[in-house]
Amino acid sequence: MPSHDVLVIGAGLAGQRAALAAAEEGVSVGIISKVHPVRSHSNAAQGGINAALNPGDSWESHAFDTIKGSDYLGDQDAIEIMTREAPEEILHLEHLGVTFHRNEEGKLGTRAFGGASAARTYYVADITGQAIMHVLYEQLMKYSEQIARYEEWFCSSLAIEESGECCGVVTRNVADGSMELFQAKSVILCTGGNGMVWKPSTNALICTGDGIAMAYRAGAKLMDMEMIQYHPTTLAGKGFLITEGARGEGAHLLNAKGERFMEKYAPNKMELASRDVVSRAEQTEINEGRGFPDGTVALDITVVPKKRVHEALREIVLVGRDFAGVDITREPIHIKPGNHYTMGGVKTDVDGRTDIPGLYSAGETACVSVHGGNRLGANSLLDTLIFGKRSGRDAAARAKRIDYAHTSKQVLEDEEAMIADIVAREKGSGRRISEIKLELGQTMDAKVAVFRDEAGITEALETVRRLKEEAKTAYIDDHGSVFNQDLIAAIELGYMLDNAECTCVAALERKESRGAQYRTDFPERNDEDWLKHIDLERTDDGPEISYSEVTITQWEPQERTY
Amino acid sequence: MADYTIKVRRFQPESGEGPYWEEFNVDLDPSLSVLDGLLQAKDREDGSLAVRCSCRAAICGSCGMKINGQSGLGCKTQIGEAQELADKQASATGKGGEGNSIVIEPMGNMPVIKDLVTDMESTHWTKIRRVTPWLLPHGEPPEREYIVEPESMIDITQSMACIQCGACVSSCLSMEADHEFIGPAALAKAYRFVGDPRDAETHERLHDLADDPHGIYDCTHCFSCIDACPKGVAPMDQIMRLRRKAGEVGIEDPNSGHDHEIAFVKIIEKKGTLDESLLLQESFAPGIKGKLKPNKRAIREMLGSIPTAIRGIKTGKMRSLHKLIPGVHPKLPDQDDVKTIFAHAEEHSEEFNLYIKGEEGELAEDDVEKGIERSTDPDTPQEVKNG
Instruction: Say whether pLDDT at B335 is over 90.
Output: no
User: For chain B, percent helix, then strand, then coil, each to nearest 5?
Assistant: 45, 10, 45
Catalytic annotation, pick one of A17, A111, A149, A275: A275
Confidence (pLDDT) at A346? 98
A231/A377 Cα distance (integer angstroms): 9
Best probe of the B interface among A39, A174, A202, by most B CBs < 10 A, is A39
Query: Which residues neighbour A489 within 8 Å (Cβ) at sequence distance 6 or greater?
Result: A433, A434, A437, A476, B47
Q: Looking at the complex, report in whole angstroms how far the Cα of residue B31 sits from the nearest Cα belonging to chain A.
A: 7
Contact A482 B113 (CB under 8 A): yes
Q: Which residue of B13, B48, B153 is in closest CB contact with A99?
A: B153
Query: Which residues is A149 bridged to in the sheet?
Result: A31
Q: Looking at the complex, report in whole angstroms how far the Cα of residue A395 sits from the nearest Cα belonging to chain B.
A: 26
Best probe of the A interface among B112, B145, B367, by most A CBs < 10 A, is B145
* Sequence-distant contacts of A59-65: CB under 8 A, at least 24 apart: A59/A83, A59/A84, A59/A86, A59/A87, A61/A117, A61/A118, A62/A86, A62/A116, A62/A118, A62/A120, A63/A555, A64/A117, A64/A555, A65/A115, A65/A116, A65/A117, A65/A376
Kindly identify which residue of chain B lies nearest to residue A203, measuring between CA atoms.
B55
Pair type for strands B2-10 and B102-105 = parallel
Confidence (pLDDT) at B382? 35
Q: Looking at the complex, report in whole angstroms how far the Cα of residue A510 sits from the nearest Cα belonging to chain B.
A: 32
Instruction: Say whether pLDDT at B357 is over 90.
Output: no
Best probe of the B interface among A478, A481, A484, by most B CBs < 10 A, is A478
B314/B330 Cα distance (integer angstroms): 26
A275 has catalytic annotation:
yes
Nearest alpha carbon to residue B359 among A305, A306, A252: A306
At residue B375 the predicted structure's pLDDT band, cuts being 50, 70 and 90, is very low
Instruction: Count other Cβ atoms within 10 Å, centred on residue B34.
Output: 29
- Kindly write down the DSSP assignment for every residue of A62-117, as one continuous string: HHHHHHHHTTT-S-HHHHHHHHHHHHHHHHHHHHHT----B-TTSSB-EE--TT-S
Instruction: Say whether pLDDT at B343 is over 50.
Output: yes
Nearest alpha carbon to residue B211 among B180, B161, B256, B251: B251
B264/A385 Cα distance (integer angstroms): 51
Pair type for strands B64-67 and B70-73 = antiparallel
Instruction: Say whether pLDDT at B370 is over 80.
Output: no
Confidence (pLDDT) at A407? 84
Task: List CB contacts (< 8 A) between B149 and chain A.
Answer: 102, 106
**Burial class of residue B45 (count of CB atoms within 10 Å of its CB; 0-12, 13-18, 19+):** middle
Are A13 and A386 within 8 A, CB to CB?
A: no
Kindly identify which residue of chain B lies nearest to residue A109, measuring between CA atoms.
B150
Backbone angles phi, psi at A405, to 5 degrees: -80, 165
Confidence (pLDDT) at B385? 32
Task: List CB contacts (< 8 A) between A205 and chain B.
Answer: 53-56
Confidence (pLDDT) at B360? 42
Task: List CB contacts (< 8 A) between B154 and chain A.
Answer: 101, 125, 311
Best probe of the A interface among B60, B143, B362, by most A CBs < 10 A, is B60
A503/A21 Cα distance (integer angstroms): 32
Contact A43 B58 (CB under 8 A): no
Strands (DSSP E) contained in A475-549 are 532-539, 542-549
Best probe of the B interface among A318, A423, A432, A488, by most B CBs < 10 A, is A318
Q: Which residue of A40, A100, A127 is in closest CB contact with B161?
A: A127
Instruction: Provide the number of CB pairs (under 8 Å) joining chain A to chain B.
Output: 182
Confidence (pLDDT) at B383? 35
The strands making up B70-73's β-sheet, listed across from edge to edge, are B20-28, B2-10, B102-105, B64-67, B70-73
Query: Which residues neighbour A170 within 8 Å (Cβ) at sequence distance 6 or greater?
Result: A155, A156, A157, A158, A159, A179, A180, A181, A182, A411, A412, A415
CA A531 from chain centre, in angstroms, equals 23
Are A52 and A83 within 8 A, CB to CB?
A: yes
Give the CA dihedral B200, B206, B211, B213, nearest 10 degrees.
130
Lowest mean pLDDT among B27-41, B60-74, B334-348: B334-348
Task: List CB contacts (< 8 A) between B78 and chain A.
Answer: 322
Confidence (pLDDT) at B372? 36
The CA-atom distances, in angstroms, between A377 and each of A71, A274, A300, A383, A427 are 14, 8, 19, 11, 45
B5/B27 Cα distance (integer angstroms): 9
Task: List CB contacts (< 8 A) between A103 and chain B.
Answer: 150
Are B160 and A99 within 8 A, CB to CB?
A: yes
- State in Å, rounded, how far the first CA of chain B is from the last one: 51
Confidence (pLDDT) at A510? 98
Contact A151 B121 (CB under 8 A): yes
Q: Supply the pTM of this predicted model.
A: 0.90
Residue type, A459: E
Task: List CB contacts (< 8 A) between A476 and chain B.
Answer: 47
Contact A205 B53 (CB under 8 A): yes
Query: Which residues is B6 bridged to in the sheet?
Result: B24, B102
Q: Tell me, what DSSP letter sits at residue A187?
A: E
Residues A465-502 as b or e (16 or more Cβ within 10 Å = b): eebbeebeebbbbbebbbbbbbbbbbbbbbbbbbbbbb
Q: Looking at the complex, report in whole angstroms how far the Cα of residue A303 sits from the nearest Cα belonging to chain B.
A: 17
At residue B354 the predicted structure's pLDDT band, cuts being 50, 70 and 90, is low
Residue type, A482: V
Are A315 and A301 within 8 A, CB to CB?
A: no
Q: Looking at the complex, report in whole angstroms how far the Cα of residue A80 sits from the nearest Cα belonging to chain B.
A: 22
Task: List CB contacts (< 8 A) between A109 and chain B.
Answer: 150
Are B105 and B65 within 8 A, CB to CB?
A: yes
Q: Which residue of B147, B156, B356 is in closest CB contact with A99?
A: B156
At residue B358 the predicted structure's pLDDT band, cuts being 50, 70 and 90, is very low
**Burial class of residue A233 (count of CB atoms within 10 Å of its CB; 0-12, 13-18, 19+):** buried
Instruction: Say whether pLDDT at B290 is over 90.
Output: no
Query: Which residues neighbour A116 within 8 Å (Cβ) at sequence distance 6 or greater?
Result: A50, A62, A65, A272, A376, A378
Q: Which residue of B128, B134, B356 is in closest CB contact with A142?
A: B134
A297/A332 Cα distance (integer angstroms): 10
Confidence (pLDDT) at B387? 27
Backbone angles phi, psi at B165, to 5 degrees: -80, -25
Mean pLDDT over each residue of chain A, to the nearest integer: 96
Query: Which residues is A171 bridged to in the sheet?
Result: A155, A180
A229/A234 Cα distance (integer angstroms): 12
Confidence (pLDDT) at B291? 53
Confidence (pLDDT) at B293? 58
Are A314 and A307 within 8 A, CB to CB?
A: no
Nearest alpha carbon to residue A341 among A512, A459, A196: A196
Q: Tell me, what DSSP letter sits at residue A41?
A: G
Compute the radius of gyration of chain A from its Cα atoms.
Answer: 22
Q: Which residue of A104, A309, A319 is in closest CB contact with B57?
A: A319
Instruction: Say whether pLDDT at B92 is over 70.
Output: yes
The CA-atom distances, in angstroms, between A137 and each of A92, A471, B128, B166, B298 are 15, 36, 12, 17, 45
Residue type, B201: E
Alpha-helix runs per DSSP H in B164-291: 167-171, 173-177, 184-194, 202-211, 224-228, 235-248, 257-271, 276-284
Kindly identify which residue of chain B lies nearest to residue A12, measuring between CA atoms.
B60
B38/B82 Cα distance (integer angstroms): 13
* B256 or A419, greater pLDDT: A419
Task: List CB contacts (< 8 A) between A130 and chain B.
Answer: 59, 160-161, 163
Contact A100 B145 (CB under 8 A): yes
Angle between helices A13-24 and A380-401 (to 10 degrees): 40
Q: Which residue of A91, A130, A479 is in closest CB contact with B163?
A: A130
Contact B196 A139 (CB under 8 A): no
Compute the radius of gyration of chain B from its Cα atoms.
Answer: 24
Contact A310 B356 (CB under 8 A): yes
B183/B187 Cα distance (integer angstroms): 6
Question: pLDDT 10s per residue in chain A (562 long)?
Answer: 899 999 999 999 999 999 999 999 999 999 999 999 999 999 998 889 999 999 999 999 999 999 999 999 999 999 999 999 999 999 999 999 999 999 999 999 998 888 888 999 999 988 999 999 999 999 999 999 999 999 999 999 999 999 999 999 999 999 999 999 999 999 999 999 999 999 999 999 999 999 999 999 999 999 999 999 999 999 987 888 898 889 999 999 999 999 999 999 999 999 999 999 999 999 999 999 999 999 999 999 999 999 889 888 888 898 888 888 899 999 999 999 999 999 999 999 999 999 999 999 999 999 999 999 999 989 999 999 999 999 999 999 999 999 999 888 999 999 999 999 999 998 888 999 999 999 999 999 999 999 999 999 999 999 999 999 999 999 999 999 999 999 999 999 999 999 999 999 999 999 999 999 999 999 999 999 999 999 999 999 999 999 999 999 999 999 998 8
Instruction: Say whether pLDDT at B117 is over 90.
Output: yes
Contact A310 B161 (CB under 8 A): no
Backbone angles phi, psi at B88, to 5 degrees: -60, -45
A40/A34 Cα distance (integer angstroms): 9
Alpha-helix runs per DSSP H in A515-561: 527-530
Q: Looking at the complex, report in whole angstroms how far the Cα of residue A325 sits from the nearest Cα belonging to chain B.
A: 8
Task: List CB contacts (< 8 A) between B52 and chain A.
Answer: 35, 39
Q: Looking at the complex, report in whole angstroms how far the Cα of residue B357 sits from the nearest Cα belonging to chain A.
A: 7
Kindly identify which residue of chain B lies nearest to residue A434, measuring between CA atoms.
B43
How many C-alpha atoms does A343 have within 13 Å on its Cβ side?
A: 34
Contact A433 B129 (CB under 8 A): no
Backbone angles phi, psi at B96, to 5 degrees: 65, -165
Q: Which residue of B62, B129, B135 is in closest CB contact with A97?
A: B135
Q: Which residue of A91, A310, A476 is in closest CB contact with B355?
A: A310
Query: Which residues is A548 bridged to in the sheet?
Result: A533
